[in-house]
Amino acid sequence: MKNFIFISPNFPTNYWNFCHELKANGMNVLGIGDQPYDELLPQLKDSLTEYYKVNNMENYDEVYRAVAFFIHKYGRIDWLESNNEYWLEKDAMLRTDFHITSGFQTSDMDSIKHKSKMKPYYQAVGIPTAKYHIVDDLAGCKKFIDEVGYPVIVKPDNGVGASRTYKLKTEAQLVDFLNEIEGETTGAIYIMEEFVDATVNSYDAIIDSNCEPVFETGNVTVTSIMDVVNDLGTSVYYIQKDLPEDIKKAGRATVKSFGVKNRFVHFEFFRLNKDHEGLGKKGDVIALEVNLRPSGGNSPDMMNFANSTNVYKIWADMICFDKTELPEGEHYFCAFAGRRDGRNYTLSHEEIMAKYAEKLVMVDRVPVALAGAMGDQMYIARLSTEAEKDQYLVDLCKEN
């Protein structure tokens, strides 16, 4: 029996499904987390052979000792994974330190965590990227902005989500930003990019050991996550009914360029809303960033609803057998709306539940840790046509 260590299997809460499908495939599933065992979901408890609680997941020595304990008790570890962006670098450190070769090592992290270092990999397969500048001083930033013009987008070169992301429209805002980061103690390096008027389209896939997809889908982000986080707006995105061929082509090329194997991936691309000099024509696809993990929150569940399948099983099949025989069924749009508490929406909760009773597949509060980017109250619906999807999103987002 092969051994799989799942890092932080308790968060997000739906990740128990990954553990369940691994166990169903005959894998020995060993969990490491900081939540007390008695507080774990019953489904997760049933999916784990053993759980090792640490006091602090940020303490590498504690997690290291947990892995060492499992090796002493169960023998060689075949896989170690969290499927979580936050732990990506720690996963790689543990694999490197314990010579677990079935995943990225510490030496691989630069190219998949730093936005500036991703760009050559896109360019190598002919996918355009936005011009950028590593933030230095006022003179250096102004020189770059003289070339591309305002506004510019600034964010950590190595960052998760849209936190600490800025849209600078004037020199005064640039000066304020530089003064703000001067007082930071994080030591973060920031990347400044030309603003691109575009809509985010993703390529979500499960990739086998030969860099080939065993499952593909994708979403469209209707509201910018940067705006949702900074303006506390409504979060809206949807899984596409059918993945467009140009996104599929760009996603597959990116997989090959980065050498991705045996992973669930979430690659983000821009689809241009208008012609952009140096990047392409309206409708063209250009690079944004790679994420070597599933799309966040309830996106895996939404993929299931949209494709009438089970991505948790497909992923576990890829891990255990390097293939899957699980078919997809009928395709749908699956749309997410994350509404904010305290906003004056036109439709009340009760009215939404009545109008979309047959379409809603998930209705729940968003975990506090995800609420900044996802809203406070989520509604997920499965819809057959684009017109239905568009009307649903209007109904959920409209405010008085």
**Selected residue with higher pLDDT from 396 and 160:** 396
- Residues 9 and 91: their CA atoms lie apart, in Å, by 13
225, pLDDT greater than 70: no
Predicted pLDDT of residue 338? 94
CB 97 within 8 A of CB 68: no
> Which tens digit of pLDDT belongs to each residue from 53-105?
999 999 999 999 999 999 999 999 999 999 999 999 999 999 999 999 999 99
Predicted pLDDT of residue 372? 84
| Confidence band of 159 (pLDDT split at 50, 70, 90) | confident
| Confidence band of 163 (pLDDT split at 50, 70, 90) | low
Question: Pairing state of beta strands 152-156 and 198-207?
Answer: unpaired
Average pLDDT of the segment spanning 29-51: 98
- Residues 14 and 44: their CA atoms lie apart, in Å, by 9
Predicted pLDDT of residue 17? 98
Q: What is the rounded average pLDDT for all residues in the chain?
A: 95
228, pLDDT greater than 60: no
> Which tens digit of pLDDT belongs to each residue from 327-369?
899 999 999 999 999 999 999 999 999 999 999 999 999 988 8
Predicted pLDDT of residue 231? 64
* pTM of the predicted protein model: 0.94
Burial class (CB in 10 A: 0-12, 13-18, 19+), 291: buried
CB 88 within 8 A of CB 109: yes
Average pLDDT of the segment spanning 241-262: 98
Predicted pLDDT of residue 38? 98
Most confident listed range (161-170, 177-186, 285-294): 285-294
CB 37 within 8 A of CB 57: no
Q: Which of 318, 298, 258, 292 is nearest to 89 (CA)?
A: 292
Predicted pLDDT of residue 118? 96
Lowest mean pLDDT segment, chosen from 34-38, 119-123, 221-225, 235-239: 221-225
- Residues 291 and 268: their CA atoms lie apart, in Å, by 8
Q: Which of 171, 165, 104, 177 is nearest to 136 (CA)?
A: 177
